[in-house]
Amino acid sequence: METSLYLIVGLGNPGEQYARTRHNAGFIALERLGKSWSAQWVFERTFCANVADVRLQERKVLLCHPQTYMNLSGKSVASIVNYYHIKLENLLVVSDDADLPLGIIRLRPDGGSGGHHGLESIEQALGTQNYARLRIGIGRQSDSQCEITDYVLGEFSLQELKILDLVLERAVKQINSWLFEGIEKAMNQYNGQVECPQ
């Protein structure tokens, strides 16, 4: 049986100073996913990315943390897609989303960047918006606040981390569903709000 090849990308900024920031929700989600699969990460200079190679049944899955910084994420993603000839329907990008409240995740088969510079970079590098993306809500301080750099580069509070833990648990289930059951079922079953602690 031919092995299907998938690529799952978590977006974020490299470096310890960014490790627990809201903008690194994609990195953090992939760390959780990789741990659940006992993945072993290595730095691949060719792709300027940390990559883990996992085999699950008849599927080979590459996990990717671009090390280019957020605004150049497309460089890493496109180089892996082109090198391995990965079909776009087998690509999933996980990112933070300031327009979604913390506690909400939303998987979509395609769409615009919503002003997210990592997604913009991937769209430009691939020349298309036709790839799945899983957005993890991080909220924003106020609707009127257009410049949110300090907020997204700030660390999750202790209360937010409790909610994030539940979000990550749900995101891991959704990614597994996307991988084994297809995107429609994954969206229907897991998109939405997690039950948050009081």
**Residue 116 annotated in active site:** no
d(CA 29, CA 36): 11
Across the beta sheet with 132-137, the strand order is: 41-44, 49-56, 59-66, 4-10, 91-97, 132-137, 104-108, 192-193
Task: List alpha helices for the chain, DSSP H.
Answer: 25-36, 73-84, 117-126, 149-152, 158-181, 183-190
Active site residues: 23
